[in-house]
Amino acid sequence: MSTTLFDKVWDSHVVRKIEDGPDVLFIDRHLIHEVTSPVAFLGLKSRKNSVLYPGRTFATADHNTPTINQHLPVEDPLSANQLKALEENSAEWGISHWGLGHQNNGIVHVVGPENGITLPGATIVCGDSHTSTHGAFGAIAFGIGTSEVEMVLSSQCIMQPKPKKMRININGKLGFGVTPKDVALFIISKLTTSGATGYFVEYAGDVFKNMTMEGRMTVCNLSIEMGARGGIVAPDEQTFEYIKGRTFTPKGTAWDKAMNYWETLKTDEDAVFDKEYTFDASEIEPMITYGTNPGMGTGISQNIPNAGEVEGGVATYKKSLDYMGFHEGDSMIGKKVDYVFLGSCTNGRIEDFRAFASIVKGRKKADTITAWLVPGSHIVEAKIKEEGLLDILTEAGFALREPGCSACLAMNDDKVPAGKVAVSTSNRNFEGRQGPGSRTLLASPLVAAATAVTGVVTDPRTLL
């Protein structure tokens, strides 16, 4: 029978099927961080269970960590307490732990691929919805709740009904200044924030084939923003090239054995999806969001749509624009911006910093802009320095912070003040996401850079 890539990976991980119930799914790799794991460890202890396979779980501190002075004690006692819990729980159970200051520390979805934890054909979970990122490697990767974190710790399995299958094809060539972030925001604007709920999405077609691994990560990362549990791209030569030789990647005969498996990971030609969408790359321009969910996005040269032109209730739409302080029909270009955030598991990798630097090179940060540039990991940070990007950024008036989730969800001090507008390369523009009362415009690193030097929303194509 013809099957999809998703079927192949999922079915090979089913330990047992429960009639009219979920599948018991084996998890190859489990990532944990300080915010969603402490209660799982408490549960484990109170039930007198133990961690079944400590070598399959990897801990990194990222969500609430400060992005300056990481060598000093963390000031916020609650954050410090969570970080301590992660460290102690990891030590107690023999789990690899990359705390603050560790050379491999960084955002969980950045360090996973960087260190070869992320592998094709693997099942990967983490108590974080952007775990979908790892689908870029042909893995089934998705976010879970804390009860499920406890399940994985104690049994290396979770119980999940198998999602339906969707394929999104984009063929053709992306236009000038159009990045993977724009591709993702474009898809979400077409499907809406709930358009893929209940589905697992395979991305196919020229655009994804020709996209770098980091670009694929950005797209898969944002799969959750249209409701999908995850996204997946078939592994190819580029994938194998990327993972080869990394710390946790199989070596020697184990690599050869894994390659035999990985080479089977593709969707059969006549496999059937429950839903399929096809777009042409030429339809996509640099994108920006104007509302309070990631589906409320538009081409940067377009005006904010009228309520009648978009799906969903008028009251909800108006509430959203009111929060943003925007109006139907407004132009996005030229809107005044106060903050620019480059970073997060969506756009905190080296290619994102290269893109940002390509625009600010030889220009100056606008005086009215506060900019936070936060690398996704220490490895990214080191590359920024190695490649001379730091000099370009410094010359243009920008400073580099230390790695972490930072202003993406503002659990640390990197909070956008109430009423202020941020152009952000992160993944969510929900009310208050970047700090109570903050207003977020999601966009690519190119749009963020163009905005950072002008002080207003700017089409990067005018500066490239």
Partner 1 sequence: MAYDKFEILKSTAVPLPIENVDTDQIIPARFLKATERKGFGDNLFRDWRYNPDNTPKEQFVLNNPIYKGKILVGGKNFGSGSSREHAAWAVYDYGFRCVVSSFFADIFRGNCLNVGVLPVQVSATFLDKIFKAIEADPNTEIEINLPNQTITMLASGEEESFDINSYKKQNMLNGFDDIDYLVKKKEEIKKFAENRPF
Of residues 98 and 200, the one with the C-beta less far from partner 1: 200
What is the nearest approach in angstroms of partner 1 to the Cβ of residue 154?
6
Count Cβ atoms below 10 Å from residue 182 Cβ, excluding itself: 26
Q: How far apart are CA 217 and CA 349, in angstroms?
A: 10
Of residues 20 and 269, the one with the C-beta less far from partner 1: 20
Q: Which of 418, 419, 462, 464 binds partner 1 (CB under 8 A)?
A: 418
Of residues 43 and 175, the one with the C-beta less far from partner 1: 43
N- to C-terminal Cα distance for the chain? 49
Q: Which of 257, 327, 336, 385 binds partner 1 (CB under 8 A)?
A: 257
Separation in Å, CA 232 to CA 7, 20, 21, 110, 223: 11, 26, 24, 17, 9
CB distance 456 to 172 below 8 Å: no
Positions of E strands within 374-463: 421-424, 439-442
Q: How far apart are CA 230 and CA 239, in angstroms?
A: 18
What is the nearest approach in angstroms of partner 1 to the Cβ of residue 93?
16
365 is an interface residue for partner 1 by CB under 8 A: no
What is the nearest approach in angstroms of partner 1 to the Cβ of residue 85?
5
425 is an interface residue for partner 1 by CB under 8 A: no
CB distance 329 to 394 below 8 Å: no
Residues 258-317 that bind partner 1 (CB under 8 A): 258, 261, 293, 312-313, 315-316
Separation in Å, CA 222 to CA 17, 135, 184, 395: 29, 11, 6, 32
Of residues 29 and 365, the one with the C-beta less far from partner 1: 29
Q: Which of 134, 229, 401, 420 binds partner 1 (CB under 8 A)?
A: 229
What is the nearest approach in angstroms of partner 1 to the Cβ of residue 150?
6
Of residues 154 and 212, the one with the C-beta less far from partner 1: 154
Of residues 144 and 233, the one with the C-beta less far from partner 1: 144
128 is an interface residue for partner 1 by CB under 8 A: yes
Residues 60-119 that bind partner 1 (CB under 8 A): 63-64, 76, 78-79, 81-82, 85, 119
Q: Which of 172, 175, 205, 432 binds partner 1 (CB under 8 A)?
A: 432
- What is the size of the binding site for partner 1 (CB under 8 A)? 81
Structure-token pair, residue 188: 């979400």
Q: How far apart are CA 207 and CA 214, in angstroms?
A: 13
Letters for 374-413 (x = contact with partner 1 by CB under 8 A, - = none) are: -----------------------------------xxx--
Q: What angle do CA 345, 245, 93 make, to 5 degrees?
A: 65
Backbone φ and ψ for 102, nearest 5 degrees, come out as: -65, 140
